[in-house]
């Protein structure tokens, strides 16, 4: 019987190789995300994130609400963003400049909350013209570094800027190299009056040549724009009248004035060679006779001589027959011309002077009218190589720079007389007067 025992489980169990999954529950695609969010407080984190995003966009709106003027959104900022047309931006900005921003093809250039001033070095900045230029640059918001060896410059001319964080003064001779980081270089360093440049003629020509080389080298290294203040003396005793920039001059290369005349002509040559050969951005100004406050007293130039002599009750010394002519521009007109030239797009050279022409006798008469009608005139032998005529043709400056002098001799001379009177008779408060005169 035992052998007949059979395990019948195999008979009752059906074998199947097919797979049957569980039936899909309805709404599974909806309930599964809900279950996921409800587990481990995930829903709480989502709600907190939405709340934070809403708060941020409420406090810092990305656009101006309709109907609300733009200035209502910037009341907490003292100065709104300034925009300049593209032609103005192209005029004042260069690829390496940090002061005016970079080009923008949209036509309007945001310059920041304020115009960011340039960093500018003015060689000879403690001198007569240089100090007035420094005043204008500081007033415009630029940072100015004055470099001067004080041969003819005076600390009194710039001491009203002491304490200004945008002003620096370096006692330095430009015949020695100088390393600075600047955007623009106004190169004015050189004695300009016959008394001073004849005092040490070798030093004068070294200042013109070596000093210009050093400043051009600096401009090349740091990518600065360079302006050379040349002189009408490059025309010598001219055979063309009035003098245009295309006139090459009539200069005595071995005369007593040649250290200055030929030095400036060589400086112009170096400037153009650096421009053509090294790609330095340069500007050249040829300055005609300039007068105004802060001129050196007794420096040998005719206006300062006449004014000082008349104030001291001395005879006005006229050299030669007094028929030689000069053109006299007030210092504020010259500074305006230099700044327009620097910021413009034209290399030059440009004549910067007043085309109003006076003989030396006519100038003496104007000084008599202004200071002392009883002042005497005394004639002396003329100096060597003294030009007979000097008058600028400024049509190029008028056309390309939009510049021409505004201050006549009879209007500007009293301002200079007031400054000289204070300095000659012991009142050293000429700073305020000079500032008013240059504005």
Q: Which of 342, 431, 345 is nearest to 137 (CA)?
A: 342
Question: Is 260 a known active-site residue?
Answer: yes
Judge if the upstream peptide bond of residue 349 is cis by omega within 30 degrees of 0.
yes
Torsion over CA: 108, 111, 113, 115 (sign): negative
Q: Which of 235, 260, 274, 291 is catalytic?
A: 260
Maximum Cα interatomic distance, the chain, rounded to a whole number of Å: 169
Judge if the upstream peptide bond of residue 150 is cis by omega within 30 degrees of 0.
no
Are the C-beta atoms of residues 98 and 183 closer than 8 Å to each other? yes
What's the burial of 412, exposed, middle or buried (CB within 10 Å: 0-12/13-18/19+)? Answer: buried
Two tokens at 427?
Answer: 């009142």
Torsion over CA: 387, 393, 396, 399 (sign): positive
Strand-pairing partners, residue 377, are 316
Q: Which of 365, 371, 362 is nearest to 313 (CA)?
A: 371
Compute the half-sphere exposure of residue 255: CA atoms within 13 Å on the CB side of its CA.
Answer: 18
Q: Which of 262, 263, 265 is nearest to 253 (CA)?
A: 262
Q: Which of 137, 126, 148, 129 is nearest to 99 (CA)?
A: 137
Could you give the CA distance from residue 301 to residue 377 in angstroms, rounded to a whole number? 16
Tell me the catalytic residues: 260
């Amino acid at each position: 019987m035992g052998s007949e025992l059979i395990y019948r489980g195999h008979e009752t169990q059906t074998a199947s190789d097919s797979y049957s999954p569980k039936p899909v529950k309805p709404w599974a695609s909806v309930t599964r995300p809900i279950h996921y969010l409800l587990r481990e407080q995930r829903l709480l984190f989502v709600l907190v994130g939405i709340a934070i995003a809403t708060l941020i966009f409420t406090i810092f709106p990305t656009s101006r609400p309709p109907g609300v003027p733009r200035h209502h959104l910037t009341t907490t900022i003292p100065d709104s963003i300034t925009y300049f047309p593209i032609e103005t931006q192209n005029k004042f900005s260069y690829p390496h400049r940090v002061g005016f921003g970079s080009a923008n093809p949209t036509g309007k250039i945001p310059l920041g909350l304020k115009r960011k001033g340039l960093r500018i070095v003015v060689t000879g900045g403690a001198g007569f013209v240089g100090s007035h230029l420094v005043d204008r640059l500081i007033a415009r918001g630029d940072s100015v570094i004055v470099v001067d060896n004080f041969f003819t410059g005076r600390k009194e001319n710039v001491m009203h800027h002491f304490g200004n964080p945008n002003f620096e003064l370096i006692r330095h001779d430009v015949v020695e190299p100088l390393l600075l980081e600047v955007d623009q270089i106004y190169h004015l360093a050189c004695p300009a009056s016959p008394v001073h440049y004849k005092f040490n003629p070798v030093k004068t020509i070294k200042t013109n040549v070596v000093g210009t080389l050093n400043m051009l080298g600096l401009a090349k290294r740091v990518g600065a724009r360079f302006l050379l203040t040349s002189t009408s003396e490059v025309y010598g005793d001219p055979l063309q009248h009035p003098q245009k920039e295309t006139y090459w001059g009539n200069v005595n290369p071995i005369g007593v004035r040649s250290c200055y005349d030929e030095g400036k002509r060589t400086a112009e040559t170096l400037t153009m060679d650096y421009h053509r050969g090294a790609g330095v951005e340069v500007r050249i100004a040829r300055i005609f006779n300039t007068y105004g406050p802060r001129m050196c007293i007794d420096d040998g130039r005719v206006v300062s001589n006449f004014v000082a002599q008349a104030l001291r009750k001395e005879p006005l010394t006229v050299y030669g027959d007094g028929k030689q002519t000069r053109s006299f521009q007030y210092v504020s007109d010259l500074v305006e011309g230099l700044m327009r030239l620097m910021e413009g797009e034209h290399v030059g050279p440009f004549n910067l002077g007043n085309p109003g022409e006076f003989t030396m006798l006519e100038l003496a008469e104007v000084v008599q009218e202004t200071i002392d009608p009883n002042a005497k005139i005394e004639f002396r032998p003329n100096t060597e190589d003294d030009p007979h005529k000097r008058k600028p043709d400024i049509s190029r400056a008028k056309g390309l720079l939009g510049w021409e002098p505004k201050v006549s001799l009879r209007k500007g001379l009293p301002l200079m007389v007031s400054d000289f009177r204070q300095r000659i008779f012991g009142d050293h408060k000429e700073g305020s007067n000079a500032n008013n005169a240059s504005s």
